[in-house]
Amino acid sequence: MGKKNSIISSIISKFLSPVHLFQIIKLQRNRKKTERVYDDAQLKLYHKIMPGDFLHYGYFTDPAVHPGEISLHQFYRAQLQYAENLLQHISDTENDILDVGCGMGGLLKLMNEKNWKAIGVTPDKNQTKYIRETYPNAIHECRFEDFPAVDFTNHFGTIITSESLQYLQLDIALPIIQQTMKQGGKWIACDYFKLGEAGEKSGHNFALFVEKLKANGFKITFQQDITPHILPTIAFVHIWAKQVVLPLKDFGVEKIKVKAPGIFYALQNAMPQIDAKIQKNIDTIDPVLFAKHKQYLLMVIERI
């Protein structure tokens, strides 16, 4: 009991001390200034759990598979199938291929096995370090909006955005793609889009995206709705969140209530906000809500 009180006293003293309080505020402010994409701890954890160097939803050939029956091996196979679906649209295997938002290099690996020349772009320092240590490919550690387009004018036969398009600022990214892609080249985009303005903020509105494509001299030459084939992944994560994460949260709260009543008292008023935040995050991985508000598309886009 004495050790526990000592820990609590140490935490409280840091909040009461002006010197420590200033340091807490400074660290918090600096954290906000550090963009998540430059050092994404969640993606790093995800990569440690899953094999294959892929960081996407995967593609289940059988969309009726029950999420409760999905194994890690099945998920890896779905991720591999997703990648193969992209690569089958590459027709120019002589010129360089640009993988925008290359993640941990899963696509780069597959293209290397085919002896294709591929270059990666990612702003995440962990991903850049891993790729440089693992693969021979050139890698640009930057946002695509900061990519040195002038050095690659009319250079790439193929540009790929695999679940990275949703993060791009279109007004900046589209002119870069237009400048760096060769005449007759292909842009292969695979990502989800919002069907309206309701629901989660992530993803571009598809109707507005199509308008921007036309305004920047692009046209969609192939389009496939693969939403049913990625929903098993979302349903799988949703089940784990409801059946594992929520019970663990409740267990942790009860433990704090019994073992550290002072801390529980301090957190009690904030619990409704914490619960609301957790529920909001769970809603973003609800397969029913996802299918209602979003559409996951595989597209081939070319210059007009």
Q: What is the largest CA-CA distance in the chain?
A: 73
Question: What are the boundaries of each domain within the chain?
Answer: 49-227+293-303, 230-289
Task: Give the residue among 63, 111, 61 at the shortest CA–CA distance from 86.
Answer: 111
**Span 140-158, pLDDT tens digits:** 999 999 999 999 999 999 9
Residue type, 112: N
Tokens of 185: 């080249």
The parts of the chain modelled with pLDDT lower than 50 are: 4, 8, 11-12, 14-16, 21-22, 24-26, 32-34, 36, 38-39, 42-43, 45-47
The predicted pLDDT at position 274 comes to 79
Tell me phi and psi for residue 300, to 5 degrees: -115, 125
Tell me phi and psi for residue 87, to 5 degrees: -65, -25
The predicted pLDDT at position 142 comes to 97
The predicted pLDDT at position 33 comes to 46
> Which parts of 47-142 are beta strand (E)?
97-100, 118-122, 139-141
**Interstrand relation of 156-162 and 181-194 (parallel, antiparallel or unpaired):** parallel
**Cα separation values, 222 from 12, 45, 86, 154, 286, Å:** 60, 34, 12, 22, 28
The predicted pLDDT at position 246 comes to 80
The predicted pLDDT at position 5 comes to 53
Query: Do residues 267 and 249 lie in contact, with contact meaning Cβ atoms separated by under 8 Å?
Result: no
CATH ID of 49-227+293-303, from 3.40.47.10, 3.40.50.150, 1.10.1740.10, 3.40.50.300: 3.40.50.150
pTM of the model as a whole: 0.78
Residue 218 CB coordination number (10 Å):
19
**Cα separation values, 174 from 25, 88, 144, 183, 216, Å:** 39, 23, 10, 15, 7
> Running DSSP on this structure, what letter comes out for residue 165?
G
The predicted pLDDT at position 256 comes to 85
Task: Give the residue among 161, 238, 236, 158 at the shortest CA–CA distance from 204.
Answer: 161
Tokens of 68: 């409760």
